[in-house]
Amino acid sequence: MELKKGYKKTDIGVIPEDWECLKVEDCVSITTGKKNTDDNIADGLYSFFVRSQQVEKINSFSFNCEAVLTAGDGVGTGRIFHYINGKFDVHQRVYVMTNFRNVTGKFFYFYFSSYFYNEVSKYTAKSSVDSVRKDMIAKMSLLTPPIPEQHAIASALSDIDNLIDVLNKLIDKKKNIKQGAIQELLTRKKRLDGFSREWKTINLGEILEIGHGKSQHEILDLNGKYPILATSGEIGRTNMFLYDKPSVLIGRKGTINKPQYINTPFWTIDTLFYTKIHDSVHPKYLYYLFCTIDWLLYNEASGVPSLNSKTIESIEVYIPILEEQTAIANILSDMDAEIEALEQKLNKYKSIKQGMMQELLTGRIRLV
């Protein structure tokens, strides 16, 4: 196959002629921190990098430089990366890459974070990576364009990262606003204009009946019309349904504190309860009401958390008339719709970034 003009063939594929294929050890110094997790201080002066995506704080610093960091073991091994330029401290099982040569720190961050998990996966037959050895980092191949192009690539990817960061913060803000609205509107702290009638005190059993999920194994159909729901959400499809009206679902066993709402026919597995809601209650209002309940208070097992249907039906709540329920549900549903739109936009930006990395970090698209 004839090579495209301006490209050359290497051991790791076709790359631009003016790019080099180096090893990470040729471009950075690799070390680890010396701190323990419990050295963190909540209001510390400096960033403290542990084996988590969450950055802690500390009052000491062992490094004052530009660096890229990754966890050496733990849950996020091979998937946790940080970039910093300044004073910071580091856990003893976090790798620190500094003293960049032939590569800029920000370009290295984007390249390393994009390809390192695939690299360390070569060293294990398991589906996950338990730990990282220094050699796994040192011997990893690294494609390096000329320095000006590295700056251009890092700048383009930083721009999309900034957009993603802004959206993440906006989504968090909207979720906090919605949570505050739920707490005010469903506890009578704030009343909507036009409504003044007293709320009734009832037991949940007066406005709903609890339905029990069933095994899904005999009714699975990949092309089915209806979702099969578990505590984690949809886990399959079927052409049969247990219930075909709007319903609020809550875990019977395992995850018992995450209500779900569905308004299409569905099937639920046996670790999930669903509700048959009386006409006096707006189904979406009931969902938001379920979101205000601390379900772990009603846990009836010492091991795996469990709920009992009779216990649920005995829970005492306050509810307004149907018209006020509907008004509250509409306000909160609008907030949900706004958050969902922002999350879709966020996913779009993440997909764009992924595509940019695949093209820019391999030289398929040049920024010259």
301 pLDDT band, cuts 50/70/90, is: confident
Q: What per-residue confidence (pLDDT) applies to 6? A: 87
How far is it, in rounded angstroms, from Cα 260 to Cα 1?
54
Give the helix/strand (H/E) hosting 229. Answer: strand 226-230
Owner of token pair 């930006």: 349
| Ranges of each domain in the chain | 20-129+136-144, 200-319
* pLDDT over 90 at 156, yes or no: yes
- Tell me the per-residue pLDDT of 251-273, one tens digit each, with 9 for 90 and over: 999 999 999 999 999 999 999 99
Contact by Cβ (8 Å): 316, 284 = no
Q: Do domains 20-129+136-144 and 200-319 have the same CATH topology?
A: yes
The answer regarding whether domain 20-129+136-144 maps to CATH 3.90.220.20 reads yes
Query: What is the pLDDT at residue 4?
Result: 83
Domain at 200-319: CATH architecture = Alpha-Beta Complex (3.90)
pLDDT tens digits, residue range 192-220?
A: 999 999 999 999 999 999 999 999 988 99
**Rounded alpha-carbon distances, angstroms, from residue 229 to 30, 223, 237, 282, 367:** 47, 15, 9, 22, 47
Amino acid at 306: S
Looking at residue 358, its pLDDT comes to 93
* Contacts by residues 155-164 (CB-CB < 8 Å, ≥ 24 positions apart): 156/356, 156/360, 156/367, 157/110, 157/353, 157/356, 157/357, 157/360, 158/106, 160/349, 160/352, 160/353, 160/356, 161/353, 163/349, 164/346, 164/349, 164/350, 164/353
At 128, is the pLDDT very low, low, confident or very high (cuts 50, 70, 90)? low
Helix 147-185, helix 322-360: angle, nearest 10? 170
